[in-house]
């Protein structure tokens, strides 16, 4: 563990204090942003007549990624990423209509159907569990999904689809964080 001299300790404390103030300000700004985003969502819902079946304005149905892309384009003079996506999608649509091998598409659509059937089969298996509590079923589901994820990861590595990743070792960084917390925030005596 790196030991800090007095000058470094003081600089670290000043840095942490400044960052804490800036992040406190960020919290305030984030809360204002949420409030203003909700107001914008309500305004868009009202202007675009987005309503539920009872005729009430329904801001939750406003697609904010699209709204934010337009804000970027119209008010922040940025490139509209959604427009770029749409142009790309149209290019792909043309490719599907004219050039993409139908057998490849059919094979892909077929596997999606098989996955959907598998999902329904999984749901049916849960219905068979009549004497287990919800908590036990959730735990079993968690274990089964974890096994699935591990098996999928192993199979992808064996097939060469992905490379095996070494688990990230953050132990040194975490030790430094604990050390600095103790040193700079006065937790215990260092």
DSSP string, 33-56: HHHHHHHHHHHHHHHTT-B-TTS-
Q: Do 126 and 58 share a structural domain?
A: no
Average pLDDT over residues 93-121: 93
188 has a pLDDT exceeding 80? no
Instruction: Name the token pair of 56.
Output: 């009430």
Model confidence, pTM? 0.60
Instruction: Name the token pair of 172.
Output: 């040194």
149 has a pLDDT exceeding 50? yes
Q: Do 125 and 179 share a structural domain?
A: yes
Q: Is 45 in contact with 57 (CB distance < 8 Å)?
A: yes
Mean pLDDT of the chain: 89
Average pLDDT over residues 35-57: 94
* pLDDT at res. 190: 42
Q: Do 81 and 118 share a structural domain?
A: no
Dihedral of alpha carbons 22, 23, 26, 27, sign: negative
Task: Give the residue from 31, 55, 89 where a domain finishes.
Answer: 89
Q: Do 83 and 34 share a structural domain?
A: yes
> For residue 83, what are the domain limits?
7-89
Number of domains in the chain: 2
189 has a pLDDT exceeding 70? no
Collect all residues with Cβ–Cβ distance below 8 Å to 62 and sequence separation of at least 6: 41, 44, 45, 48, 50
- On whether residue 1 sits in a domain, the answer given is no
Task: Give the residue from 63, 89, 115 where a domain finishes.
Answer: 89
Q: Do 176 and 125 share a structural domain?
A: yes
Dihedral of alpha carbons 67, 73, 79, 82, sign: positive
* pLDDT at res. 44: 94
Q: Do 105 and 181 share a structural domain?
A: yes
* pLDDT at res. 177: 83
- On whether residue 95 sits in a domain, the answer given is no
Greater pLDDT, 22 or 173: 22
* Gyration radius of the chain over CA positions: 27
């Amino acid at each position: 563990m790196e030991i800090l001299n007095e000058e470094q300790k003081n600089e670290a404390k000043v840095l942490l204090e400044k960052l804490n103030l800036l992040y406190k300000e960020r919290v305030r700004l984030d809360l204002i942003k949420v409030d203003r985003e909700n107001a914008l969502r309500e305004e868009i819902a009202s202007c675009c007549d987005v309503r539920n079946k009872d005729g009430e304005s329904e801001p939750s149905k406003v697609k904010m990624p699209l709204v934010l892309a337009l804000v970027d384009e119209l008010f922040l003079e940025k490139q509209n990423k959604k427009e770029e996506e749409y142009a790309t999608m149209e290019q792909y649509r043309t490719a599907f209509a004219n050039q993409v091998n139908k057998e490849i598409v059919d094979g892909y659509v077929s596997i999606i159907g098989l996955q959907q059937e598998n999902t329904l089969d999984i749901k049916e298996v849960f219905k068979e569990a009549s004497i287990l509590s919800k908590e036990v079923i959730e735990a079993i589901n968690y274990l089964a999904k974890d096994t699935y994820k591990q098996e999928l990861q192993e199979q992808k590595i064996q097939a060469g689809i992905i490379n095996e990743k070494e688990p990230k070792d953050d132990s040194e960084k975490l030790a430094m964080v604990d050390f600095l917390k103790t040193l700079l925030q006065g937790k215990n005596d260092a």
